[in-house]
Chain A
């Protein structure tokens, strides 16, 4: 291994993927994921060629798994007196309108550990009731005795004045509390107490889990002589050092999808596309996200496992449509697909592991989209008989020939994905026809062309390294840290000094962190922004600020920028109506140099890549269709649909009337 190796390690549910640079080329390796994630990590590492590693970038599901499995730290929450149940009441809405058996997720801190501090600030941050320090000492002693592993402190209006939260922390420390203490004014100084409480509690409860994991991993790396800095992928599409990642543990919840979005963005960039809709379809679900002008669309808030997390995250929309999604008939005889999935055990019926319910994969096999009686990507040969048997029941009930029923399963699954794509595009003010669809994941390339046609998307990109796209995203990612502070003042009352002071404070903190993470000064970038709204509105829009001291003259430009953005997104603006500045934000970026993607150097011909011809069903009927081996197609190769292109990790369907070409990097580009 040559020096200056960049290594990306992405731990998913099934596989741990490695991507690294070697002699300027990218290499990849997959090993099975282990229950203790660092074991799979180290096992894979042992198989890499020896050499000097410059930097390791890691994507992990350790925070997500802890949340989903309920294995978070024993956490105490300190609130303003009278408000300990904010965490339990939430926004007082229920998750399902008609399902009388539905439940909200249980609060992450049970009531006995939601403790009340007598104190109160008003809506200007002024003290209405001083902090009762004696009562806080009492609470501290209870926490110290109680086997608590982490503490969250969320007091009302602390985003305007953090003094009481800080004093609570001091008292806790004085009274011997040695576990991590997370203040809402440091994690999320934004108004709306439930979302702030939920986010702060989640951060506190996951922090020990993430801290312990990263510590074990760092020590294991050190003991193998690897002292390269370890960076972790966050939900916002940027990476952070281990200390910052642990302190903001909830910012790792979408680590995996964020890596995938960056990988797609990188591949799109080299293929010459900056506007992308990504479709990552795996065994149980499909994730869709949007990239506009090379910027990954973020959402300021989303629910994770039913609980709101208000941190900038990749705006990924997930629906229950995957290769293992089960087709079924509802009580009125209507065909439905998902969200229930056969998963990997028992898996689709055609796998012969005991599954009997028809799945999306069974439908593909029956229609000739997947190879019959021939192993595929490490799986044993799939059985058409078992697939047919599973689909027969539905076909009979619908009164359809087998292949029509199978085609119907695919159509219904695609209707679900089509709606998901409309949610992240049309409902957010984007026209999908101006985007390229990037289809990856085990099942994505089977549906990419068909979905693109339904949405009027002209082009589909099937990345060459679709199987390790997330890991590729890791080695391409910048370091990103975000800061926010709620002000909630009329724009006309904004004091430029105050804005500059706050931005300078954010910047000082970010600078220290980026420096500690080894980012040279020239690679540090800062993007200030403000969230604005018309007075009385409940939603804010983010408008960028110039990266220089803010002056009173900028206010007018800011206001007109807001009207323009409002017009673009919502279809109208109201010049003259008072505008409020809600939040001040800073995004600090440490730019990383992304490794070049390898160009395809092989020769060969389309004919040479032909594996077989077989009948394949495409809605209109069966067509004798050529099947090509993806790894034998040379750059510049052109195909006309109908065709099937089989890769190691996925199979791509080129429907009749579509054309496919292989670009210089081995990406398949479909004109549909």
Chain B
């Protein structure tokens, strides 16, 4: 195919994926999708290979192909108007709140590809509101599992399946609105892909698919060639000792990432299905080797991931997985970055906060008498980079969702934010300083609330590099009448009326020895 048409088609496909995401944002109901933008869209070949993906949430980067493969395995036959829906982590999903739509696109009666749209739903049932229970010991407690099912067949909604889903979630009306928005996004993608095929002809479209994947593969191979060959080991763990172990081997133009030796899966919700491990691995490789690499199936052909079944990086039933996507995914990134730092000194930053600080507060609003659930994630310190300080108070690596504005939060919930500030001195000292963590204090007003926290890097701070010191670990407190009491970073506490939850997120690791930092350039203050 001529390179001009190829460049133009590549642009058009990326544009279609972006337009699908824009359609979802526009029509979604819940703030989690609309404001925090926790969603992704992608296009696939008729065989299920990823050809284009919108630049959305990194944790969905490598995971969408698993969904499409699972849908294709479940349904050998597809007709126009069919849409498969799934969230089951061991059958194409990541964690239960992420619901993925997969639908075929046709041109003149022939299958030309698939589109997929994933969105994080605010609740899919289970033992706590928000469906990310920190105390879950098996996946059955985390909510409704949807294996690939056709929710629409030839354009007809299966009311029975929809009814079953809605009967199992806490906010059925909102779910219905968001599912409808996902369908609108899917239809946007189908329409645009069909129009493109109509313009080019199906054969030319397939040729473009192949060439785009080959192009990404060439780019990735070129990037790997520049990495010195050899085997680089690294390991890191969550606070409870759950360990991710990696041997990263660079052989010519290929990379093998072997996670053998990682901890067996555990009975608390930090296990990662293979799709999450793939996402985290791809994120780290793309960020270090070629940030502009087009994320399609070709890019990952030279990459092989070995993750033994039954471990935390390739968990199976009945392991709970809510935090695998959120917390273990960050540790997997840290481990891949740690290995790459040995292969490419001077190219890799120190460890970032390494957690998303998932906070859920639920209770009965004393003014309205209605139950509420509030969920947010809190930024922290970015690891110092070779050549510059890490960014203060920011989301890093596998997430990039927005915060909830203090004024929006207080208008909607019986809560008051008493502090939202940077933790001075929390950035790891070094020639370049790690970014600072955040302190966020929230008072529960006039009622009892249940507060769940799912966070990490509380036992040890994120590591420094090249002589840089680690960032400060996070700390979490319950403050009652001015008295601070430490609370567990993974667990649930009941808070009395007017108690304050105080979350201190980790600082990023430092880079280079602190003594080489120029005098007068504070390593503590900003």
Contacts and interface: CB of A to CB of B under 8 A. Distances in A.
Interface of A: 82-86, 88-89, 91-94, 96-101, 103-104, 111, 122-123, 128, 156-157, 191-195, 330-336, 398-400, 404, 407-408, 411-412, 415-416, 418-419, 422-423, 426-427, 429, 488, 534, 536-539, 569-572, 574, 577
A415 B7 contact: yes
Given A332-B218, A335-B3, A400-B3, A538 B393 contact: no
Given A86-B420, A111-B526, A398-B3, A92 B438 contact: yes
Nearest to A111: B526
B512 interface: no
A612 to B, nearest CB: 29
Nearest to B57: A97
B162 interface: no
B6 to A, nearest CB: 7
B291 interface: yes
A414 to B, nearest CB: 8
A402 B400 CA distance: 43
A400 B3 CA distance: 9
Given A86-B420, A111-B526, A331-B222, 11 more contacts: A83-B420, A86-B406, A97-B400, A98-B58, A122-B416, A123-B407, A330-B292, A332-B222, A333-B3, A419-B18, A422-B15
Nearest to A102: B391
A334 B27 contact: no
13 contacts: A89-B438, A94-B382, A100-B385, A103-B388, A111-B525, A331-B223, A332-B218, A332-B219, A333-B218, A411-B8, A412-B11, A427-B26, A537-B29
Given A91-B402, A412-B4, A104 B30 contact: no
A426 to B, nearest CB: 7
A404 B395 contact: no
Interface string B453-474: 0000000000000000000000
A93 B401 contact: yes
Contacts of B441: 82
Interface stretch (B94-102, B233-241, B258-266, B280-288): B280-288
Contacts of B18: 419
Nearest to A336: B7
A345 B119 CA distance: 46
B402 A93 contact: yes
A192 B55 CA distance: 25
A536 B11 contact: no
A88 B438 CA distance: 11
A570 B218 contact: no
Given A85-B420, A101-B385, A92 B7 contact: no
A191 B407 contact: yes
A623 B204 CA distance: 27
A156 B407 contact: yes
Main secondary structure on A side of the interface with B: loop
Given A411-B8, A537-B34, A571-B27, A99 B222 contact: no
B396 interface: yes
Nearest to A409: B4
Contacts of B174: 536
B447 interface: no
B130 to A, nearest CB: 15
Contact of A88 (B10, B286, B422): B422
Contacts of A538: 31, 34-35, 408
A82 B422 CA distance: 10
> Which one of A82, A331, A411 has the greatest number of beta carbons of chain B within 10 Å?
A331
B498 interface: no
A339 B10 CA distance: 17
Contact of A334 (B3, B22, B392): B3
A294 to B, nearest CB: 25
A82 B2 CA distance: 59
Contacts of B283: 98
A427 B22 contact: yes
B378 interface: yes
B405 A191 contact: yes
A412 B407 contact: no
Given A123-B411, A416-B11, A422-B15, A89 B379 contact: yes
A330 B420 contact: no
B421 A84 contact: yes
Given A88-B392, A101-B385, A123-B410, A83 B3 contact: no
B403 A85 contact: no
Contact of B291 (A96, A122, A419): A96
Nearest to B423: A85
Contacts of A536: 29-31, 174, 412
Contact of A330 (B6, B11, B27, B219): B219
> Which one of B55, B393, B441 has the greatest number of beta carbons of chain A within 10 Å?
B393
B480 interface: no
A418 to B, nearest CB: 8
A539 B35 CA distance: 8
Given A100-B385, A123-B407, A412-B11, A89 B392 contact: yes
Contacts of B348: 100
Contacts of B154: none
Interface string B42-61: 00000000000001001000
B391 A94 contact: yes
Contact of B402 (A92, A111, A407): A92
A94 B11 CA distance: 24
Interface string B1-23: 01110111011100100110011
B400 A334 contact: no
Given A194-B405, A415-B12, A539-B34, A100 B420 contact: no
